[in-house]
Amino acid sequence: MLKGKTAVVTGGTRGIGFAVVKKYLENGANVVLTGSRQETVDKALEQLKEYKDRVMGICPDLASPTEIEAAFAKVTDAFGSLDILVNNAGISARESIYDYSPDDFTKILDLNLKSVFICSQAAAKIMKKQGGGVIINTSSMVSLYGQAAGCGYPATKFAVNGLTKSLARELGRDQIRVNAVAPGVTKTDMVAALPTEMVERISSTIPLGRVGEPDEIADAFLYLASDMASYVTGAILSVDGAAMT
Protein backbone atom coordinates (compact mmCIF):
# COMPACT_ATOMS: atom_id res chain seq x y z
CA MET A 1 0.00 0.00 0.00
CA LEU A 2 2.97 2.38 0.49
CA LYS A 3 5.51 1.03 -1.99
CA GLY A 4 7.97 3.69 -3.07
CA LYS A 5 6.93 6.14 -0.35
CA THR A 6 9.18 7.52 2.36
CA ALA A 7 7.83 8.12 5.86
CA VAL A 8 9.18 9.79 8.99
CA VAL A 9 7.69 8.54 12.26
CA THR A 10 8.55 10.53 15.37
CA GLY A 11 8.52 8.59 18.60
CA GLY A 12 8.93 5.46 16.53
CA THR A 13 11.02 3.38 18.91
CA ARG A 14 8.21 1.78 20.92
CA GLY A 15 4.48 1.46 21.43
CA ILE A 16 2.15 2.82 18.77
CA GLY A 17 5.00 4.56 16.96
CA PHE A 18 6.99 1.35 16.57
CA ALA A 19 3.86 -0.48 15.41
CA VAL A 20 3.37 2.21 12.74
CA VAL A 21 7.00 1.93 11.64
CA LYS A 22 6.69 -1.83 11.25
CA LYS A 23 3.33 -1.57 9.48
CA TYR A 24 4.73 0.93 6.98
CA LEU A 25 7.79 -1.22 6.32
CA GLU A 26 5.59 -4.28 5.79
CA ASN A 27 3.68 -2.26 3.20
CA GLY A 28 6.72 -1.24 1.18
CA ALA A 29 7.66 2.17 2.53
CA ASN A 30 11.09 3.49 3.40
CA VAL A 31 10.91 4.61 7.03
CA VAL A 32 12.94 6.95 9.20
CA LEU A 33 12.10 6.63 12.88
CA THR A 34 13.06 9.11 15.56
CA GLY A 35 13.72 8.56 19.23
CA SER A 36 14.79 10.64 22.20
CA ARG A 37 18.10 8.81 22.60
CA GLN A 38 20.47 6.93 20.31
CA GLU A 39 20.21 3.94 22.63
CA THR A 40 16.47 3.56 22.06
CA VAL A 41 16.87 4.18 18.33
CA ASP A 42 19.49 1.44 18.06
CA LYS A 43 17.29 -0.97 20.03
CA ALA A 44 14.38 -0.36 17.67
CA LEU A 45 16.55 -0.79 14.58
CA GLU A 46 17.85 -4.09 15.95
CA GLN A 47 14.28 -5.39 15.88
CA LEU A 48 13.91 -4.32 12.25
CA LYS A 49 17.04 -5.90 10.79
CA GLU A 50 15.11 -7.62 8.01
CA TYR A 51 14.29 -4.16 6.61
CA LYS A 52 17.78 -2.71 7.04
CA ASP A 53 17.93 -1.28 3.52
CA ARG A 54 14.68 0.66 4.00
CA VAL A 55 14.88 1.88 7.58
CA MET A 56 16.94 4.54 9.34
CA GLY A 57 16.97 5.92 12.87
CA ILE A 58 17.73 9.45 14.07
CA CYS A 59 17.32 11.39 17.32
CA PRO A 60 17.00 15.14 16.63
CA ASP A 61 15.46 17.60 19.06
CA LEU A 62 11.91 17.68 17.71
CA ALA A 63 11.35 21.17 19.12
CA SER A 64 14.36 22.63 17.26
CA PRO A 65 13.60 23.98 13.77
CA THR A 66 17.28 23.86 12.85
CA GLU A 67 17.74 20.24 13.87
CA ILE A 68 14.52 19.16 12.16
CA GLU A 69 15.41 20.92 8.92
CA ALA A 70 18.80 19.15 8.93
CA ALA A 71 17.22 15.80 9.83
CA PHE A 72 14.63 16.00 7.05
CA ALA A 73 17.39 16.94 4.58
CA LYS A 74 19.10 13.66 5.53
CA VAL A 75 15.85 11.83 4.84
CA THR A 76 15.50 13.23 1.34
CA ASP A 77 19.19 12.69 0.64
CA ALA A 78 18.89 9.03 1.63
CA PHE A 79 15.56 8.15 0.02
CA GLY A 80 14.82 10.95 -2.45
CA SER A 81 11.57 12.20 -0.92
CA LEU A 82 9.54 12.74 2.22
CA ASP A 83 5.98 11.62 1.48
CA ILE A 84 4.52 10.86 4.91
CA LEU A 85 5.11 12.47 8.29
CA VAL A 86 3.70 10.86 11.42
CA ASN A 87 3.88 13.18 14.42
CA ASN A 88 3.65 10.54 17.12
CA ALA A 89 6.19 11.52 19.78
CA GLY A 90 4.60 12.56 23.04
CA ILE A 91 4.53 12.28 26.81
CA SER A 92 1.68 11.97 29.26
CA ALA A 93 1.09 13.35 32.74
CA ARG A 94 -1.08 12.59 35.77
CA GLU A 95 -0.26 15.51 38.12
CA SER A 96 -3.08 17.28 39.89
CA ILE A 97 -3.56 20.93 38.95
CA TYR A 98 -2.54 21.72 42.55
CA ASP A 99 0.88 20.14 42.02
CA TYR A 100 1.43 20.84 38.32
CA SER A 101 4.54 23.00 37.87
CA PRO A 102 4.78 25.52 35.02
CA ASP A 103 8.03 23.86 33.93
CA ASP A 104 6.31 20.47 33.59
CA PHE A 105 3.47 22.09 31.66
CA THR A 106 5.95 23.73 29.30
CA LYS A 107 7.77 20.42 28.80
CA ILE A 108 4.62 18.63 27.68
CA LEU A 109 3.68 21.55 25.42
CA ASP A 110 7.08 21.46 23.73
CA LEU A 111 6.96 17.76 22.82
CA ASN A 112 3.24 17.19 22.31
CA LEU A 113 2.41 20.39 20.45
CA LYS A 114 5.38 22.58 19.52
CA SER A 115 7.20 19.65 17.90
CA VAL A 116 4.11 18.82 15.83
CA PHE A 117 4.09 22.37 14.49
CA ILE A 118 7.83 22.42 13.78
CA CYS A 119 7.95 19.01 12.10
CA SER A 120 4.80 19.72 10.09
CA GLN A 121 6.17 23.06 8.89
CA ALA A 122 9.46 21.53 7.76
CA ALA A 123 7.76 18.57 6.08
CA ALA A 124 5.16 20.75 4.36
CA LYS A 125 7.87 22.81 2.67
CA ILE A 126 9.36 19.64 1.21
CA MET A 127 6.00 18.13 0.29
CA LYS A 128 4.86 21.30 -1.48
CA LYS A 129 7.89 21.14 -3.78
CA GLN A 130 7.20 17.45 -4.43
CA GLY A 131 3.59 18.10 -5.35
CA GLY A 132 1.95 16.67 -2.24
CA GLY A 133 2.20 14.47 0.82
CA VAL A 134 0.54 13.27 3.98
CA ILE A 135 0.83 14.43 7.59
CA ILE A 136 -0.75 12.31 10.34
CA ASN A 137 -0.80 13.42 13.97
CA THR A 138 -1.30 11.24 17.01
CA SER A 139 -4.13 12.62 19.09
CA SER A 140 -5.99 10.79 21.86
CA MET A 141 -9.49 9.99 23.01
CA VAL A 142 -8.89 12.45 25.87
CA SER A 143 -8.74 15.19 23.23
CA LEU A 144 -12.51 14.72 23.02
CA TYR A 145 -13.37 14.08 26.66
CA GLY A 146 -10.53 15.44 28.78
CA GLN A 147 -9.20 13.56 31.78
CA ALA A 148 -9.44 13.90 35.55
CA ALA A 149 -5.78 14.80 36.17
CA GLY A 150 -2.69 15.80 34.23
CA CYS A 151 -4.48 18.55 32.32
CA GLY A 152 -1.43 19.29 30.15
CA TYR A 153 -1.85 16.07 28.17
CA PRO A 154 -5.46 16.52 27.03
CA ALA A 155 -4.81 20.23 26.51
CA THR A 156 -2.06 19.44 24.01
CA LYS A 157 -4.19 16.82 22.26
CA PHE A 158 -7.14 19.24 21.96
CA ALA A 159 -4.61 21.61 20.35
CA VAL A 160 -3.30 18.90 18.03
CA ASN A 161 -6.85 18.38 16.76
CA GLY A 162 -7.18 22.09 16.05
CA LEU A 163 -3.80 22.19 14.32
CA THR A 164 -4.76 19.15 12.24
CA LYS A 165 -8.01 20.68 10.99
CA SER A 166 -6.40 24.08 10.34
CA LEU A 167 -3.44 22.65 8.42
CA ALA A 168 -5.80 20.47 6.39
CA ARG A 169 -7.57 23.60 5.22
CA GLU A 170 -4.36 25.54 4.60
CA LEU A 171 -2.35 22.81 2.90
CA GLY A 172 -5.08 21.21 0.82
CA ARG A 173 -4.29 23.53 -2.08
CA ASP A 174 -0.80 22.04 -2.12
CA GLN A 175 -2.18 18.48 -2.19
CA ILE A 176 -1.01 17.81 1.36
CA ARG A 177 -3.51 15.85 3.40
CA VAL A 178 -3.50 16.30 7.18
CA ASN A 179 -5.34 13.97 9.55
CA ALA A 180 -5.09 12.65 13.09
CA VAL A 181 -5.64 9.33 14.80
CA ALA A 182 -7.15 9.46 18.30
CA PRO A 183 -6.33 6.15 20.00
CA GLY A 184 -8.16 4.89 23.04
CA VAL A 185 -6.63 2.82 25.80
CA THR A 186 -3.86 0.83 24.13
CA LYS A 187 -1.29 -1.64 25.42
CA THR A 188 1.70 0.71 25.46
CA ASP A 189 4.33 1.76 28.01
CA MET A 190 2.39 5.00 28.56
CA VAL A 191 -0.72 3.08 29.61
CA ALA A 192 1.39 0.72 31.71
CA ALA A 193 2.47 3.75 33.75
CA LEU A 194 -1.12 4.56 34.70
CA PRO A 195 -2.58 3.22 37.98
CA THR A 196 -4.01 -0.27 37.50
CA GLU A 197 -7.37 0.71 38.91
CA MET A 198 -7.64 3.54 36.40
CA VAL A 199 -6.92 1.25 33.43
CA GLU A 200 -9.44 -1.28 34.73
CA ARG A 201 -12.08 1.39 35.23
CA ILE A 202 -11.60 2.77 31.73
CA SER A 203 -11.46 -0.68 30.14
CA SER A 204 -14.71 -1.72 31.80
CA THR A 205 -16.55 1.02 29.91
CA ILE A 206 -15.30 0.01 26.46
CA PRO A 207 -18.15 -1.54 24.46
CA LEU A 208 -15.77 -3.94 22.70
CA GLY A 209 -14.74 -5.23 26.13
CA ARG A 210 -10.97 -4.80 25.84
CA VAL A 211 -8.18 -2.32 25.30
CA GLY A 212 -6.64 -1.87 21.87
CA GLU A 213 -3.46 -3.38 20.49
CA PRO A 214 -0.75 -1.14 18.96
CA ASP A 215 -1.07 -3.02 15.69
CA GLU A 216 -4.78 -2.12 15.51
CA ILE A 217 -3.96 1.55 15.93
CA ALA A 218 -1.23 1.25 13.28
CA ASP A 219 -3.83 0.03 10.79
CA ALA A 220 -5.51 3.43 11.01
CA PHE A 221 -2.21 5.18 10.28
CA LEU A 222 -1.70 2.88 7.30
CA TYR A 223 -5.12 3.70 5.89
CA LEU A 224 -4.66 7.47 6.26
CA ALA A 225 -1.19 7.32 4.66
CA SER A 226 -2.39 5.29 1.69
CA ASP A 227 -4.21 6.21 -1.50
CA MET A 228 -7.31 4.59 -0.01
CA ALA A 229 -7.68 7.85 1.96
CA SER A 230 -6.97 10.11 -1.02
CA TYR A 231 -10.05 12.27 -0.31
CA VAL A 232 -9.74 12.24 3.48
CA THR A 233 -8.26 15.32 5.13
CA GLY A 234 -9.00 17.24 8.30
CA ALA A 235 -10.33 14.08 9.98
CA ILE A 236 -9.79 13.02 13.59
CA LEU A 237 -10.16 9.24 13.37
CA SER A 238 -11.11 7.69 16.72
CA VAL A 239 -9.76 4.17 17.23
CA ASP A 240 -10.93 3.47 20.75
CA GLY A 241 -13.59 0.76 20.74
CA ALA A 242 -16.19 3.51 21.36
CA ALA A 243 -14.63 4.18 24.76
CA MET A 244 -15.43 7.26 26.84
CA THR A 245 -13.69 8.41 30.01
Known catalytic residues are: 153
HEC sequence for 58-83: ECCCCCCHHHHHHHHHHHHHHHCCCC
- The answer to whether 232 touches 221, Cβ cutoff 8 Å, is no
Contact 41, 18 (CB under 8 A): no
Residue 47 CB neighbour total at 10 angstroms: 13
Distances (CA, A) of 71 to 76, 119, 122, 203: 9, 10, 10, 39
Neighbours of 119 (CB within 10 A): 26
